[in-house]
Structure 1
Amino acid sequence: MASILRIGVDVGGTNTDAVILDPSSQNHPIIAWHKSPTTANTSQGIETVINVLLQQANVDPSRIASITIGTTHFINAVIEKDQSRLAPVAVLRLCGPFSQSVPPGIDWPEDLRDYICAYAAFLDGGLEIDGAVIREPIEAQVKEECARIKSMGIQNIVVNGIFSPADIAGERQEERVGEWIEKYYPEANVVLSKEVANLGFIERENAAVLNAAILSFARHTISSFQSAIYRLKLTCPVFLTQNDGTILQATDAARLPIRTFNSGATNSMCGAAFLCKSNIKKESMLVIDIGGTSTDVGMLLASGLPRQAAAVSEIAGVRLNFSCPDVKSIGLGGGSIVRIADANDNAQLTIGPDSVGHLITQHALVFGGDLPTTTDYAVVSQPPDSRADIGTRQLAEDGLLKLADSKGCNLVKLLSVYQATVKLKLEEIIDCMKTSIEDVPVLMVGGGAMIISPDEDGTVSLKGASSVIMPEYAGVANAIGAAIARVSGVVDTVLSTEGKTTQAILQEVSDIAIERAVTAGAVRDTVEVAEMDAIPVPYVASKIRVIVKAIGDFDFSRVSDTIPLSASHAESEFAVKFSEKTVPGKLSATTPSAAGPNTSFDIASYIPTIVPSPGKPITGSTHYEWHLSEKDLEWISLGCYILGTGGGGTPYPHFVRLRDMMRRGAIVRVVEPGWVGDEDNIACGGAMGSPTVSMEKPPGNEMMEAQDIVYKYLGVKPAAVMDFEIGGGNGIQGLILGASTNMNIPTVDGDWMGRAYPVGWQITPVVWGGDHTVFLPTSISDGNGNHMLMLAATSENQIERAFRAALSEMGSHVGCAKVLCRARNDIDHIAEAIIDEVGGKDAAKVLFKGKIIGVERKTVKGHSYGEVLISAADVSGGGLNSTSSVGKLKIPFKNENLVAIALSDSGNDERVVASVPDLICVCDALTGEAIGTPEYRYGLLVFVIGIQGSDKWTSSERGLEIGGPRAFGMDIDYKSLGIFRKPRSVIEEYAEYQS
């Protein structure tokens, strides 16, 4: 019996590549391949390239078992903001009393949000982290909303429920609401968020909304693909590749097109591994895909699947959490323009990032053009009979000679500098993407791979690469990757560990993932678990988050009776609406994005808004107020995470909430401690609970409810509010409380920790106030109608223990309110230059720079314990100038970083370089932003900064007893990192500008 054959097609911006391969062949799997320019009518281009393949291969069409297509069509519709391919969306949140302060699209670019996020309703529903029901969905609410949405002419609806991805116990809240929508509005297209992405409420909702916005266009596009196959008289099923290197049947892809967004890079990586499977052992390796404009680099794991990016990615300014490959790109390709920056004896040149792209045959020297490109340099650098012998070599050589003469430069040296520059660019991206200090195998693919010349022995050597393999058919690796893609099943859930071992839980979830892969079409005997992770949930007893992915080969026998759509289907209503001849109606390209930095902002000339405080006499800077701008808020948010020393949770959701309040008219006022009178009551509050709950259950009104309980009991209104801790998400809570309509009071420029600590009683009033209670009365609220008010306690530690015990019964996340008179400033916010802003080199220092090569985590009594290991590496390209780190740095943590321990290269010698109460901050070397302990992962380039702790902690034995190393069970004596210098406040610094 003849073996089955597969066709893979990759539709790129410049070329459409296609292959026919025999997956069962060990020696010659590639039967035919073809590369042709991508046409405006994509389906016609696919039909043409497959037709050429069939003619070349001369095989019986009945032997073709599948056609798998990779395309950038759907992600381009979003990136280009094309109204002809996007549609408005309504969102039904199953959230009960939560999340209303963070409406859908709150952090989107305004133009995209205003067009797509057309309507939102907040309905009863939602689950707690343990599966308990927040509220039951109500059919009557859904019926009413369906009528309203239909009257608005909106046809695409997203259903998003709190903790819905973790619902494997049978509540089926999203599914039930989807069924009601079908009952009352059968014409609607419904997207359930749990089918799109995993835990992470806002990011999952964003992904579901984008998915819904392109549904109609995706259905038209995919039906046109199927119609092209039908016209070729092929009866095989059609698949699309998705972001993780596996496939979706066309019908599923038409329902979940967002899963294909980043499949192009994945196809290249998987194709490269297939081409080299007989030459390399099963291990992780880097794939470098050099195209016409850019070079994409990703890590292929030993499982054969690409390493996935961090939990949150971004497309067109929208934060998403669906699975996508961890790929970095640089402006280096076959069409990159090469410029001579300096000549004579010091020949220097620059490559890219601009490129002639698909117009290379018009502009490159080798084709008679007038722009020197990497292709020209490569052709002239290599022997005439090499694989780089394209176009007319003499034209390229003459052009480069003329250019070299005009610069007074020797051509031989210029070619040598070119090769060194290309190698350096590739070596830098290799070093950035490696996950260990060891050299790794590198697979070089892509049509532009010829731009790097081999050494005299015919091989290519790159620093950081144990070997460089350029396989045959490398130019169509992307189409090969599409052809050989497999099927996956994924589970991301939170489970109880009571009465079960971790291994038993992993096996249970693995079985579910395997079943999901089989349901998706995999042959059961071929399914294996490719990825598995178990993450303890901080602050929540006996809970663990488990993520498992299973993959297997597709069972073609189950779709042998698949009947493709008729050719006439392409002329349906979708084809009329989304005709590829239609001129796209793009959204405004000049509308500023609500996300991402404003590159035109002049930081050096920026002056904050400092105004006299109404009704207060001017005494120095004491009675001025700082009215925050959005830029101030952004900087404070970044600084809060740095001061979180790895803990406290990301401030991002609180930042976008407060920014939205400001855009709706709220004024955020900050005052100095001297503004407060001796008898004034100062509100104080923050969040207590698990970061996992915070990322999945956006806040309700629990913060304000806790405050109201305290002040209604006291019968007074506070004069100002002050943060409980500045580190992490709680650093923004005081600003939110002060700016709220209930309070409308200023926020004191200070906090009670000067950082983040794991427990609420590790604060300076306890250091200086003794063992008695400081904050009474104190209250907590879960935002769902449950409150506690504590009027008496023996100590702050006892209050903490009582509230922690109640926490798990109140959704593992509550708002907390305290009361105290008179405040004192500890640490001001950190702006751009972190070390300068906290007192200079005497008060802070760079402890280490390198790459994370190891992370261990475990949960003890609700707290996340662990250790991160960082190996010395050059991160100077990430914005940090040269300090030479050697050996390794080990940082144990308990929610926050506790101690920094330098290790020698041999690992035999250890030296403590910093410890609590001093602040140990791990920052992303590429952005300068803080990284929290839940975000530590292999391969991140980081720098570690030590900041001298406030003398409120370090100047007394009690401060070290409560917040020093021994408070965390470490037999280490505290040694001061430097000299604490109180930073100058923003109000003091800029009040003079207001006179």
Structure 2
Amino acid sequence: MSSPTSARRLRIGVDVGGTNTDGVVLDPSRSSESDRGIVAWHKAATTANPSAGITNAITTMFASASPKISPEDVASVTIGTTHFVNAVVERDASRLSKVAVIRLSGPFSKHAPPCVDWPEDMRGIVMGYYALVKGGLEVDGELISDIDEDEIVAQCHEVKKRGITSVVVNGVFSPIDTVERQEERAAEIIRREIPGCDVVCSKEVANLGFLERENAAILNASILPFARRTIRSFQKPVRELGINCPVFITQNDGTVLSGEMAAKFPIKTFSSGPTNSMRGAAFLLQGQGKNVQKEDQAMMVVDIGGTTTDVGLLLPNGFPRQQAAYSDLAGVRMNFSCPDIKSIGLGGGSIIRKGAPMSIGPESVGYKLTKDAYIFGGNTLTTTDCAVLLDPSLGIGNTDLVKGQLTEEEGAHFKSIVQQKLEKIVDTMKTSPEDIPVVLVGGGAIISPDRLKGASMVLKPQWSQVANAIGAAIARVSAVVDTIRSTETRTTQQLLDEISKEVMEKTVEAGGSRDSVKVVEVETLPLQYVANMTRFIVRAAGDFDFSRTIVPEVAPELELELEEQDTLPKSGSATAQRDQEPAVDIATYKPDVRNRVWYITETDLGWISSGCYILGTGGGGSPYPHMILLRELMRAGAVVRVVSPADVADDAAVGCGGGAGSPTVSIEKLQGDEMMDAQRELYKICDDRATHMIALEIGGGNGLQGLTLGASANMDLPCVDGDWMGRAYPTKWQTTPVVFNERQPIWSPICIADGNGNVVVMPKASSDRQVERIMRAALSQMGSQVAAAEPPVTGAEMKRWVVDNTISQAWRIGRAVARSRQENRLENVGETTIKECGGSSAGKVLFKGKIVGVERTLRMGHVYGECIVEGTDVGGHDGASEFVGRIKIPFKNENIAAIRIRESDHDEVEDKQALEKQEDVLAIVPDLICVIDAQNGEAIGTPEYRYGLLVIVVGIAASDKWTGSQRGIEIGGPKAFGFGHLEYEPLGQFVKPVSVIDEFDRAQT
């Protein structure tokens, strides 16, 4: 047990990198002094056995400190490491194990196998085997099916045959499974059948989002054996030095894990190195004695280590900018909170290959720098060698040993390549072309020039070389609960109070001091089309409770293993990540259009998907899982064709199909065969056979369904370049065929299927509103997600009703986003989007700012809410924003309006109705109000709205199919959403989207 803490005041931070081990002893009580409370610091080459390196760092700091440090003075030792993330970035097969995946998914997810969206080389190293078996839950906790023990046992035999000892279990909606415990039960069977294997339950690694959670669990499982050895090598020296205090490992959000938990969940430490460096940089800049960072100005932190350079944006609040809904590591998409970091294979140990052309990295000598580099007597040319050769005053190693290794021309070329690499990664992270301060930290910062294009200044604060160790030393402890609960018998506030107590208790269990733990983040997300169900995400954080932590022991039988095994990467790993293939040249790319038929490529699909989500106006669900499904069909040889509405014969039969349900369900219960099931069942009662397909709505995931159904692997029909909405709407009766009212009802007969063997066919209905009501009632009993098949209309009808060329419009918007990213001009992505939609007369950027408030309620299956955006400069640089004040964006699944908040809105107003009539409406339905993430240019859906996101709000004029008649405005305008007190005023003049087919048809050129 730990001793009383009255004398304990010092915190030790150690960062064990692939090249250097850094340490710092910090006295928090003296942090306001000029030396920032730094009692001692240390930097040395990482040893083959990290245990020896940590021992050396701590003993050296103890010896150098004045006054002398006693082990009894130390309150905590916190260690950060890049070992695990480097194993992934470098594709090091010696540190990554093959993984088997057992999905408890029943009939779902079959078209998107594990690692489906991984880079090919990474998938080849990690993915060993997978199987889909019975299991999984619906969103309300009902069973899709129970697990079958015999089925799991049979799959265990297959796993054993392949010699795989790391297994991931991933069940549909497993994070909310507190009763059936399907993942846990399956894990028990696997451990029994494969003794000694590592089993990772996905629910313990990440939250809702089936593919992303699975990806995180697979990476975690792959790194486990290496992680155990490494963590134990961290714990051992602390015990041997007589330091009787807890040992923590830093995780991605700047807080810590116990050593035991870090050994089970090493993935939670993957981005901790950059986070520690950024937090350390913020801590050091506070002690500069001068204001290097202007108010409300972000700074770029460039952390140059031995193997990689990690770049992130440090916000004015001293914390790194976070990625939005998803994170990306080495091309693998995951769904837990991570700093928005970009990494490249450039560091102090990067290997130089001379020749034409000269190459630098991504391979690195890593921790063997002091052995392999020329300046230390080795025979491998590294970036540190070159930096010392060009500037002997650095005082590193023996300069004489590297003389003659570079000609003057090669030296200039080296400097140019390093500078270009750094400038490119900095520019990639910027959301504006404006110059901003750049802070250099890390031991490899010596290779950086003092000036960088795009940097208003380049700063290197005192102790910057150990910023990562400082960040580790000042870290806190936290916990999060992400769950779905029923509000049928308890209020949202009652549940929130209960969950807050639960997460605070988890934080205390993780080592937090009960008196200091507080809830720091709360999000409530009522689920569409799911009765009385709300998703809660609650995070708490606090200081350590040093008085009660048990110091972990290292098992004696493992000490020999630690001494014998090299836990660090092999230098010059043959599996190191190579430079990626050149990106598509957006300026010269031309889609494949032949004889007025557009053949969709993967590039087209990516841009269309991006554009669909923006046109979804906050709703429609993310197209990502649907894009992955269609991409897999295309990679298997399926052909996807698009034709112009004008080219469809009048007597053609244009079919339609799409999904209905909750976006939360769509990211968890991945599509099976329900789309085709619904079509097959429909045509058993429908005489007209479709000759073409069309999307129900271009907005969101349904924007891709016409393409998917029409693919040659499915119905083998061309898809019409258009849809029935020109956006996304929450109901089927809000479609242009209903607006024209030439047939009543238009959506009958109709068929819906849930993919789990349940099909509902409605041969006739009294109205399209009744179709909607009946379908929604069935939907709630069918897992809150179904596929619907609608009867064909004639080609002539289609041409009167269709919103033309919306696939082309989505493609152009997606291309504009890609171009903005490529040119590092994301602050102008709103303007470029408007340009693709017809220019300033057809739309405008309504607002730029930060989300500062979100409210959500559930009524009649739809999520109603309001998002508050405060004007700010989204570019992250100094300068006044033209967008001041606040706006509110009410939504009903989709965004309804953008309304400027008057100052009087904050005061008590007796006549609310009179105030509402005075509201300053910037845009309102049926015009499109789209919210775009200022950090990456992609759409943000209403379920993803959360505090702190930087956004650009864009307004686009609605199609004249909506605005050309009073009926269209009544069905799709303010009145339909309960805003009858507001009149529709057109945002601009609708401009028909330019057809890709018309522009690029080879027959014309």
Give the TM-score normalised by structure 1.
0.80
Match for residue 586 of structure 1?
575
**CA spacing shift, 1:871–1:193, aligned 2, 3 Å:** same
Alignment of structure 1 residues 849-860 onto 2, 5 Å: 849-860=848-859
Match for residue 9 of structure 1?
14
Match for residue 478 of structure 1?
468
Question: Which letter does structure 2 place at the counterpart of 1:694?
Answer: S
Give the counterpart of 2:978 among 969, 977, 993.
Answer: 969
Alignment of structure 1 residues 669-680 onto 2, 5 Å: 669-680=641-652
SS of 2:898 mapped into structure 1:
strand
Mean Cα displacement is larger for which, 705-714 or 10-19?
10-19
Question: Which letter does structure 1 place at the counterpart of 2:531?
Answer: A
**Contact 2:313/2:320 (8 A) holds in 1:** no
**CA spacing shift, 1:562–1:894, aligned 2, 3 Å:** closer
List per-residue Cα deviations over 1:731-759 (Å, max 9, x = no partner).
00111111163422221222111111111
**Contact 1:83/1:587 (8 A) holds in 2:** no
Match for residue 275 of structure 2?
266
**CA spacing shift, 1:124–1:322, aligned 2, 3 Å:** same
SS of 2:775 mapped into structure 1:
helix
Match for residue 328 of structure 2?
314
Mean Cα displacement is larger for which, 825-834 or 198-207?
825-834
In 1, distance between residues paired with 2:287 and 2:975? 55
Match for residue 85 of structure 1?
95
SS of 1:784 mapped into structure 2:
coil
In 1, distance between residues paired with 2:45 and 2:592? 55
In 2, distance between residues paired with 1:320 and 1:122? 21
In 2, distance between residues paired with 1:658 and 1:557? 55
List per-residue Cα deviations over 1:67-115 (Å, max 9, x = no partner).
3210111011111111111121111011111111111111111111122
Give the counterpart of 2:804 among 810, 820, 827.
Answer: 827
Alignment of structure 1 residues 314-463 onto 2, 5 Å: 314-326=328-340, 370=390
Matched, 1:710 2:682: yes
Once the two structures are TM-superposed, the CA of residue 296 in structure 1 deviates from its matched residue by 4.0
Give the counterpart of 1:602 among 557, 569, 585.
Answer: 585
Once the two structures are TM-superposed, the CA of residue 795 in structure 1 deviates from its matched residue by 0.9
Matched, 1:528 2:518: yes
List per-residue Cα deviations over 1:574-631 (Å, max 9, x = no partner).
826x565565231562665xxxxx52x223333322345xxxxxxxxxxx42221111
SS of 2:858 mapped into structure 1:
strand
Once the two structures are TM-superposed, the CA of residue 890 in structure 1 deviates from its matched residue by 3.7
Matched, 1:898 2:892: no
Once the two structures are TM-superposed, the CA of residue 933 in structure 1 deviates from its matched residue by 2.3
Mean Cα displacement is larger for which, 260-269 or 845-854?
845-854
Matched, 1:119 2:96: no
**Contact 1:610/1:994 (8 A) holds in 2:** no
Give the counterpart of 1:96 among 89, 98, 106.
Answer: 106
Once the two structures are TM-superposed, the CA of residue 790 in structure 1 deviates from its matched residue by 1.0
SS of 1:696 mapped into structure 2:
coil
**Contact 1:363/1:370 (8 A) holds in 2:** no
**CA spacing shift, 1:574–1:821, aligned 2, 3 Å:** farther
List per-residue Cα deviations over 1:776-797 (Å, max 9, x = no partner).
1101111112221111211111
SS of 1:130 mapped into structure 2:
coil
In 2, distance between residues paired with 1:80 and 1:721? 45
In 1, distance between residues paired with 2:711 and 2:297? 51
**CA spacing shift, 1:266–1:367, aligned 2, 3 Å:** closer
In 2, distance between residues paired with 1:697 and 1:656? 14
Match for residue 801 of structure 1?
773
Once the two structures are TM-superposed, the CA of residue 535 in structure 1 deviates from its matched residue by 1.9
Give unpaired runs (5+ residues) of structure 1. 336-356, 377-389, 392-421, 434-440, 454-461, 593-597, 613-623
In 2, distance between residues paired with 1:13 and 1:777? 64
List per-residue Cα deviations over 1:183-234 (Å, max 9, x = no partner).
1111311111011111111111000011111112212222333344455465
Matched, 1:916 2:925: yes
In 2, distance between residues paired with 1:648 and 1:636? 14
Match for residue 653 of structure 1?
625
SS of 1:208 mapped into structure 2:
helix
Question: Which letter does structure 2 place at the counterpart of 1:960?
Answer: I
SS of 2:727 mapped into structure 1:
coil
In 2, distance between residues paired with 1:851 and 1:819? 44
Match for residue 839 of structure 1?
838
Matched, 1:216 2:225: yes
Question: Which letter does structure 2 place at the counterpart of 1:636?
Answer: I
**CA spacing shift, 1:326–1:636, aligned 2, 3 Å:** closer
**Contact 2:71/2:243 (8 A) holds in 1:** yes
SS of 1:748 mapped into structure 2:
strand
Question: Which letter does structure 2 place at the counterpart of 1:182?
Answer: R
SS of 1:773 mapped into structure 2:
coil
Give the counterpart of 1:245 among 238, 254, 262.
Answer: 254
Match for residue 507 of structure 2?
517
Match for residue 145 of structure 1?
155
Q: How high is the sequence identity, in percent, across the aligned residues?
A: 52
SS of 2:804 mapped into structure 1:
coil
**CA spacing shift, 1:694–1:514, aligned 2, 3 Å:** same
Give the counterpart of 1:133 among 143, 151, 158.
Answer: 143
Give the counterpart of 1:772 among 731, 734, 744.
Answer: 744
Question: Which letter does structure 2 place at the counterpart of 1:723?
Answer: A
**Contact 1:625/1:987 (8 A) holds in 2:** yes
Alignment of structure 1 residues 288-299 onto 2, 5 Å: 291=303, 296-299=312-315
Give the TM-score normalised by structure 2.
0.79
**CA spacing shift, 1:209–1:910, aligned 2, 3 Å:** same
Once the two structures are TM-superposed, the CA of residue 826 in structure 1 deviates from its matched residue by 1.6
Mean Cα displacement is larger for which, 105-114 or 34-43?
34-43
In 2, distance between residues paired with 1:659 and 1:637? 11
In 2, distance between residues paired with 1:430 and 1:106? 30
Question: Which letter does structure 1 place at the counterpart of 2:655?
Answer: A
Once the two structures are TM-superposed, the CA of residue 124 in structure 1 deviates from its matched residue by 0.8
Match for residue 40 of structure 2?
32
Question: Which letter does structure 1 place at the counterpart of 2:520?
Answer: A
Give the counterpart of 2:63 among 45, 55, 63.
Answer: 55
Once the two structures are TM-superposed, the CA of residue 644 in structure 1 deviates from its matched residue by 1.1
**CA spacing shift, 1:246–1:942, aligned 2, 3 Å:** closer
Match for residue 343 of structure 1?
none
Match for residue 52 of structure 2?
44
Once the two structures are TM-superposed, the CA of residue 938 in structure 1 deviates from its matched residue by 3.9
Mean Cα displacement is larger for which, 473-482 or 96-105?
473-482
In 2, distance between residues paired with 1:931 and 1:37? 44
Match for residue 354 of structure 2?
none
Matched, 1:752 2:724: yes
In 1, distance between residues paired with 2:470 and 2:611? 46
Once the two structures are TM-superposed, the CA of residue 371 in structure 1 deviates from its matched residue by 6.5
In 2, distance between residues paired with 1:269 and 1:742? 50
**CA spacing shift, 1:363–1:517, aligned 2, 3 Å:** closer
Once the two structures are TM-superposed, the CA of residue 930 in structure 1 deviates from its matched residue by 2.5
**CA spacing shift, 1:486–1:918, aligned 2, 3 Å:** closer
Question: Which letter does structure 1 place at the counterpart of 2:57?
Answer: V
**Contact 2:18/2:83 (8 A) holds in 1:** no
Question: Which letter does structure 1 place at the counterpart of 2:62?
Answer: L
**CA spacing shift, 1:906–1:297, aligned 2, 3 Å:** farther
In 1, distance between residues paired with 2:52 and 2:556? 16
**Contact 2:633/2:713 (8 A) holds in 1:** no
Match for residue 554 of structure 2?
564
In 1, distance between residues paired with 2:244 and 2:920? 68
List per-residue Cα deviations over 1:481-539 (Å, max 9, x = no partner).
32343433321000111121222101111222233334434454554333222222223
In 2, distance between residues paired with 1:223 and 1:294? 26
**Contact 1:228/1:567 (8 A) holds in 2:** no
**CA spacing shift, 1:656–1:261, aligned 2, 3 Å:** same
Once the two structures are TM-superposed, the CA of residue 21 in structure 1 deviates from its matched residue by 4.2
Question: Which letter does structure 1 place at the counterpart of 2:274?
Answer: A
Alignment of structure 1 residues 497-508 onto 2, 5 Å: 497-508=487-498
